[in-house]
Amino acid sequence: MSCAHGDPEDGDLIGQDGKIVVPDHVAEAIRTLIAWAGDDPTREGLVDTPKRVARAWREYCAGYGDDPAVHLSRVFEEVGGYDEIVLLKDIPFQSHCEHHMAPIMGRAHIAYLPRNHVVGISKLARVLHGFARRLQVQERLTAEVADCIWENLKPLGVAVVIEATHGCMTSRGVRTPGVSMVTSRMMGVFRDDDRSRKEVLSLMGMAG
């Protein structure tokens, strides 16, 4: 089924100014929201806001046009006998919660224990961003990153730990700034073997 409300797969129209052309109905929706929030969408400072917001959301949600598994398709077989944990630590990311479309800001630690091949280390971050640049819940983001590495690299183990703060908690609702949420997904040896799990958590700087 095709979707008239915008599908990144179809590509965006680019205007003469080099920017994405924002369809009228999208800009109108944002004007409606501004008015509903209590401001006047026709005042000078807000006139161009709907287009900016629309383009910003294209970036926030660029992950819908990305297949994260593709980043794991190029592997290196020659690992010089390396059979220890590969860890990419403290990867900053931004996502948006699917319940409020509020920002989720956090850091991820992604580790795997290679079976017989590895990927370029930056690819792990690309997988993260591919899933983070969508409307998300932190638990699903964590699981999607881990599953994608598990299925595509077929390693002996995968460990993903994400710590994040949620705009919908810090700036609205219960208003608890500074509170962060931690989610993790352990697969293979990191799930089944206590020693391996403790080792990877300590490398991540998390209490084992």
CB of 96 to Zn ion, least distance (A): 8
Which 162-181 positions form the footprint of Zn ion (CB under 5 A)? 168
Q: How far apart are CA 161 and CA 202, in angstroms?
A: 12
Tell me whether residue 97 is annotated as binding: yes
Of 14-22, 54-62, 89-97, 117-125, the window that binds Zn ion (rule: CB under 5 A) is 89-97
Does 89 engage in binding with Zn ion (CB under 5 A)? Answer: no
Residue closest to 186 by CA, chosen among 153, 147, 151, 131: 147
113 vs 164, which CB is nearer to Zn ion? 164
Alpha carbons 145 and 151: distance in angstroms, whole number: 10
- Beta carbons within 8 Å of 82's beta carbon, 6+ residues apart: 114, 118
* 189 contacts Zn ion (rule: CB under 5 A): no
The Cα-based distances of 190 to 43, 51, 101, 118 in angstroms read 56, 46, 33, 17
Give the integer Cα–Cα distance in Å for 113 and 139: 22
By CB under 5 A, tell whether 198 contacts Zn ion.
Answer: no
Q: Report the nearest approach of Zn ion to the CB of residue 126 (Å).
A: 25
Question: Measured at CB, which residue is nearest to Zn ion?
Answer: 168
**168 is an annotated ligand-binding site residue:** yes
Part in contact with Zn ion (CB under 5 A); list of ranges 6-14, 90-98, 135-143, 194-202: 90-98
Q: Please work out the total of residues on this chain that contact Zn ion, with binding judged by CB under 5 A.
A: 4
Cα(148)–Cα(125) distance, rounded to whole angstroms? 12
Q: Is 140 in the site for Zn ion (CB under 5 A)?
A: no
Taking only Cα atoms into account, the Rg of the chain, rounded to an integer number of angstroms, comes to: 20
Instruction: Indicate the Cα dihedral angle 148, 151, 155, 156, nearest 10°.
Output: 110
Minimum CB separation of residue 165 from Zn ion in Å reads 11
Residue 100 near Zn ion by CB under 5 A: yes
Closest approach, Cβ 11 to Zn ion, in A, equals 30
Question: In the complex, which residues of this chain contact Zn ion (CB under 5 A)?
Answer: 97, 99-100, 168
